[in-house]
Chain A
């Protein structure tokens, strides 16, 4: 929840909230549980028209920011999505769009971006490998130049919206360096396996590459030179995810306090008991800290600040931990109805648990901080 929004950002937040409340209220989210993709493509085009997919792409490539701070703008949408546990591939599409805009060739810019921005094309990002971590050092999938082609071998997992994706941005290894490629899902040698998650609408999938052959024009950026770009994408993904988690925790605490004011026991509203009030006060501290650090991360990405990755790890460790703890403790405050299908709180608990795990658990990020930051005395400036 950024404090100093400009007028356009305020307007955009309000429009986004109205759109979500009208188009995907929680009843619609629940209905999407049974669907294959977890979102409707026509709806996604409408969301794209609102500007959801163009914030991280510069104007000359068809996008545009509201404030000159693209990540801060995108964080507004992510937070609103969190508040209503909304569907849609917001995060992966934006990461791919931003990556193509930053590093892609002119040809990629003109062939891929228009469709991504209009919502016609859905793209996702494949970085993590089965049972490994969201960490550039853990990338084993290989991209090997052969003549004018690149041959890809390996496997990726936990890829969001893979079942609906037309294109996958694949992060792979070439010798000591890293390479990114845009891979159409129908490419021979590429096999996708759909998967689900405990979230109501968010689908994932895994993908294997068995000698998949791609033209050199599929490479985004330089062969072997993508390490910094991948690290940047990870920071961006964590920033959007933290904003979503802030929205989740904020909204859950809001409706839980309301519930607690209306529900009485022993002649008093349950939230008049200190045992609950004090826990809620602690949650308010954690929520305020979560907002502060996730805003700081978005701003650091936009500023190109040094040590942004360390700040991203601090943010994910803090927000990932506390957002789920807040939602989970709100379940306790809600009592028995809180563990039924009927009550909405489980929708939030589900999304928070998935977000906690994807792009690194708080524990993964703490390990990174311990070995790379604290023990070596290099912190975010």
Chain B
């Protein structure tokens, strides 16, 4: 398909619909492993739909990608949800910021799901102030050497590559001395990975990494040396888009708008049933309705933002807005479930540890407003970048990083 005349959306949609009828399992069929599912999409031209063909994509547009995921929702077909970070965040970042060489080397296997990518941004002493990174990257001829540690890194145990933000120059102000480099995560000499246990007790997938003289080829830099901040900004934008299900990150189809609809929280109807059975519908009812209202408004808002970004009425960091909205709504729906289920949501009979209760879901959901940039940071972005209000004063902005006040509280 030539780039100036992309396949009409309706034609593409019909083609995708026919294809998935034959090839993609339904959600109530046996679950297909993520990698096999991603391979399948790739081999039939449905992975990286909006990525250029020379990097393994289908060479179409975000509208085609949206049509595809919507069609999977209509047909209730499986998608490789666990690859959302790799495909929705890391892939687009490499596409936007990588050199021709890194795009050709990394993107095809990323899109095929043969290599899975994640992000190494936050550190023990701080996540919000990401430009304060203390992980050290030193040049050594044609290679780099990495020292320091990262924290909260989701999926590091399973992934093949992490995109790591580190400090390559300590003598310039903090935003100007950062670089972004791809770190192989499997059997890398000098690196160790430890999982961090989450408060919910659910098998947590975030990790802490320690780098001790890890040697990396210079060709692994994404973006130029000391130009890592711009790459990090791009990555964060794609992260918010993925959480808010817009842009390249629109990877979940949205079909149901009824009370059964789930958007990362608890469906209103299951809370209503629980509250009713417990005779508590009157008191909890309004919480349930509010959760239900959000379950209608949140997807409508992301659809509107998507349409606005396409039409040009919306420009810039709108992912912050949908991220803020959807994470607050998702948490509220789980708090509602906690109210609706009462004691039965947090107490059970028997000796065994259980995680299949709303209490655990609630503990687990708590990270939503922290991960991906806390909601306070999103409010900063919305007010400053979308609405044009004055920026926060930052006393460290123009100081050489070596003179900046360091965080004495590491966790």
**Which residues of chain A have a CB within 8 Å of any CB of chain B?**
3-4, 257, 260-261, 268-269, 271-272, 274, 277-278, 280-282, 284-285, 288-289, 291-293, 295-296, 311, 314, 317-318, 366, 369-370, 373-375, 377-381
From A277, A291, A293, A374, B380 is in contact (CB under 8 Å) with A277
Say yes or no: is B355 at the interface (Cβ < 8 Å to chain A). Answer: no
B237 to chain A, nearest CB (A): 17
Given contacts A289-B297, A289-B301, A366-B289, contact A373 B387 (CB under 8 A): no
Q: How many A-B contacts at CB < 8 Å in the complex?
A: 134
**Given the complex, which residues of A lie within 8 Å of B260, measured CB to CB?**
377, 379
A369 close to B379 (CB less than 8 A): no
Which B347-401 residues sit within 8 Å CB-CB of chain A? 376, 378-380, 382-384, 386-393
A366 close to B258 (CB less than 8 A): no
Question: How many Å lie between the Cα of A293 and that of B295 in the bound state?
Answer: 11
B296 close to A281 (CB less than 8 A): no
**Given the complex, which residues of B lie within 8 Å of A381, measured CB to CB?**
257-258
**Given the complex, which residues of B lie within 8 Å of A278, measured CB to CB?**
376, 379-380, 383
Query: Would you give 16 A-B contacts (Cβ < 8 Å), ordered by A?
Result: A274-B379, A274-B392, A277-B384, A278-B380, A278-B383, A284-B383, A293-B296, A314-B292, A317-B289, A318-B293, A366-B289, A370-B285, A370-B286, A374-B268, A375-B272, A378-B258
Range, interface on chain B: 35 or more
Say yes or no: is B259 at the interface (Cβ < 8 Å to chain A). Answer: yes
A281 close to B378 (CB less than 8 A): yes
A271 close to B379 (CB less than 8 A): no
A377 close to B258 (CB less than 8 A): yes
When C-beta atoms are compared, the residue in chain A nearest to B290 turns out to be A366
**Given the complex, which residues of A lie within 8 Å of B391, measured CB to CB?**
272
Given contacts A289-B325, A292-B300, A375-B276, contact A317 B386 (CB under 8 A): no
B143 to chain A, nearest CB (A): 43
Question: How many Å lie between the Cα of A284 and that of B378 in the bound state?
Answer: 12
Most interface-central of B276, B308, B390, B393 (chain A CB within 10 A):
B390
From B259, B281, B298, B384, A379 is in contact (CB under 8 Å) with B259
From B261, B296, B383, A314 is in contact (CB under 8 Å) with B296
B297 close to A4 (CB less than 8 A): no
Say yes or no: is B288 at the interface (Cβ < 8 Å to chain A). Answer: yes
A280 close to B311 (CB less than 8 A): no
B324 close to A311 (CB less than 8 A): no
From B304, B311, B386, B393, A284 is in contact (CB under 8 Å) with B386
Question: How many Å lie between the Cα of A257 and that of B383 in the bound state?
Answer: 10
B188 to chain A, nearest CB (A): 40
**Given the complex, which residues of A lie within 8 Å of B2, measured CB to CB?**
none
